[in-house]
Amino acid sequence: MKNTLNIAIIQSNLVWEQPKKNRSNFSTTIESISKEVDLFVLPEMFTSGFTMNPQHVAETMQGETVEWMRNLALKKNAAIAGSIIIIENNNFYNRLLFVHPSGEINYYNKRHLFSLAGEHLKYTTGTEKLIVNYNDWKICPLVCYDLRFPVWSRNVENYDVLLYVANWPKPRIAAWDALLKARSIENLSYVIGVNRVGVDENHFEYSGHSVAYNCLGKKLTHLKTNQEDNTIITLHKKHIAEVRTKLNFLNDKDSFEIK
Q: Which residues lie across from 234 on neighbouring strands?
A: 6
Q: Indicate which residues carry an active-site annotation.
A: 44, 110, 144
Task: List Cα–Cα distances, 153 to 47, 91, 111, 148, 162, in angstroms.
Answer: 25, 25, 11, 9, 8
Is residue 151 packed enough to be buried (19+ CB in 10 Å), middle (13-18) or exposed (0-12)? exposed
Rounded distance between C-alpha atoms, residue 96 and residue 102, angstroms: 18
DSSP assigned state of 59: B
The distance from CA 189 to its chain's CA centroid, rounded to whole angstroms, is 15
Rounded distance between C-alpha atoms, residue 145 and residue 114, angstroms: 6
Q: Contact at 8 Å (CB) between 155 and 124?
A: no
Rounded distance between C-alpha atoms, residue 183 and residue 210, angstroms: 15
Torsion angles phi and psi, residue 243, rounded to 5:
-65, -45
